[in-house]
Amino acid sequence: MTADVRPFSEAAEGTGPAELDYRGPQGWATVVHRAHVGSFTLLGPEDTHLVREFEPGQSRTEEPRTWEYRVGLSGPQRLRIETAERWSVSVAPLQQDEPEDGGVFSRRGIGNQTVELAEPDPPEASILEFTRIESARPTSLFLRLRTDFGGEAFWPVGDDDRARFLFGHDTPAIWSSAGRVEIGNAVGCEWRLRVLPLSAARPLDGTTTRGTGAEVLVHTGVPASLTLSSPADTGDDPEEQVREVEVRVESHGYKVTLSTRNHFFEDGAVLGLGPGPTLLQTGSGGGWELRTTALDAVRTFDGEFTGTGGKVLRYTGPPVTARIVTRSWHRWSGMVSVRTLTPELRWRDWVNTKGGLPGRLRGERLDLLPGMLLAVTGPHDGSAWHILRTGQVRRAGLGRRQSR
């Protein structure tokens, strides 16, 4: 390795090991290696392998051959060539683009970077959109939002070509004076980061909506219950067939997250309660499906109900005091949560029953009225839960039990 550091901003060439000080803007570098043996190693910041090619010595040819590599450079940085014969490097700067589609901010980049967000006028909740333009290698890319107030949000992108994230909803928007977005695991990836208004959210149309990865959707229709499912992967790799997906539902005064794995579905959310639209944020390592059901078509019960996971139910019995009981031994992951809505769709009670022995034996009390809706979130460990009328004794094979 030579001790000399060679500065360059557009192009450089040489023979053998070298240390280069790139001083130009971000761009794509074309690296050409001409040699008798195809062994070439190019390292970037923190000794990241930008190019690593190894060919055994017995592959040496009489006449030199040519190899060409495309390398993304995120801006000024130190480069180190460790193994090479004759080489050359030329850089084409990345062209910036302007905001479009009503966006207020757009930044195009390559590799790992931290981006300051521009401040919109007026400040408002928005959508942060990440788009993968070109990638030289597979990557489990992620975004991390950091704020001056100590807050942090982690958003996985994975290998998806596009991901959208909702932020600043129901709270003051986090912008340049208080927010920075870190793009990580993006070596060799060209990307675009945009801030879009909420009007760019994908409409939740009809009864079924399908998609992949992180997406922001909006529901503006009549009140309905929501079902999330993860379609089964038909591939041969068992690891690829296990997909976990989630959707976060946010409206004024109401937030809930549904999650499930493929072959299964999860209910438990109510849309369209207002004021204003209901916003949804999906996230997964694969596909997802959202289905809406009119509230007058949800499952009904008038006595006792046993279930797992989330459910949206309508109570049709007489006024009664019930108990919410979990069947889980785990205190927190075994918690069941029930929120009730009057027939006029006004929020009423919210009851949480923790897991463990007290939750299995006693549960929590809940007043039920005819026509009331119940939005149930089940234990995360998959355990069952029960709704029991106070004083009603449940025995095996007896009682008015319904289950699903």
Give me the DSSP letters along 238-290.
TTTT--EEEEEEEETTEEEEEEEEBT-EEEEEEE--SSSPEEEEEEESSEEEE
- Specify the length of the chain in residues: 404
How many other C-beta atoms lie within 10 A of the C-beta of residue 137? Answer: 9
CA distance 198 to 356: 42
pLDDT recorded at residue 44: 94
Cα–Cα distance, 130 to 132 (Å, whole number): 7
Q: What is the pLDDT of residues 117-150, one digit of tens each?
A: 766 556 677 889 999 998 766 678 999 887 665 6
According to DSSP, the residues that pair with 381 across neighbouring strands are none
Q: Can you read off the two tokens belonging to residue 239?
A: 């690891």
The yes-or-no verdict on residue 156 having pLDDT over 90 is no
> Once rounded to an integer, what is the mean pLDDT over residues 244-258?
87
Q: Tell me which of 22 and 261 has the higher pLDDT.
A: 22
Residue 303 banded pLDDT, cuts 50, 70, 90:
confident
Query: Residue 253 — very low, low, confident or very high, per pLDDT cuts 50/70/90?
Result: confident
Cβ contacts of residue 236 below 8 Å, gap of 6+? none
Show the tokens assigned to 101: 């589609």
Q: Tell me, what's the pLDDT at 109?
A: 93
The three-state (H, E, C) secondary structure of 347-364, written as one string:
EEEEEEECCCHHHHHCCE
pLDDT at 173 over 50: no
The tokens for 170 are 């129901």
> How much is the pLDDT for 167?
76
- Where on the phi/psi map is residue 133: left (φ > 0), alpha (ψ -120 to 50), or beta? alpha
Cα separation, 49 vs 252, whole angstroms: 48
Residue 246 vs residues 113, 163, 382: alpha-carbon distances, Å: 27, 14, 15
Q: Is-contact 382 308, C-beta < 8 A?
A: yes
Pick the range with the lowest mean pLDDT from 108-112, 120-124, 137-141, 332-336. Answer: 120-124
pTM of structure: 0.82
Residue 239: partners with Cβ closer than 8 Å, 6 or more residues away: none
Strand 401-403 relative to strand 304-308: parallel, antiparallel, unpaired?
A: parallel
Token pair, residue 28, equals 């794509």
Query: How much is the mean pLDDT over the chain?
Result: 86
Is 89's pLDDT higher than 50?
yes
- Mean per-residue pLDDT, 201-218: 92
Q: What is the per-residue pLDDT for 3? A: 58
Q: Are 194 and 120 in contact (CB under 8 A)?
A: no
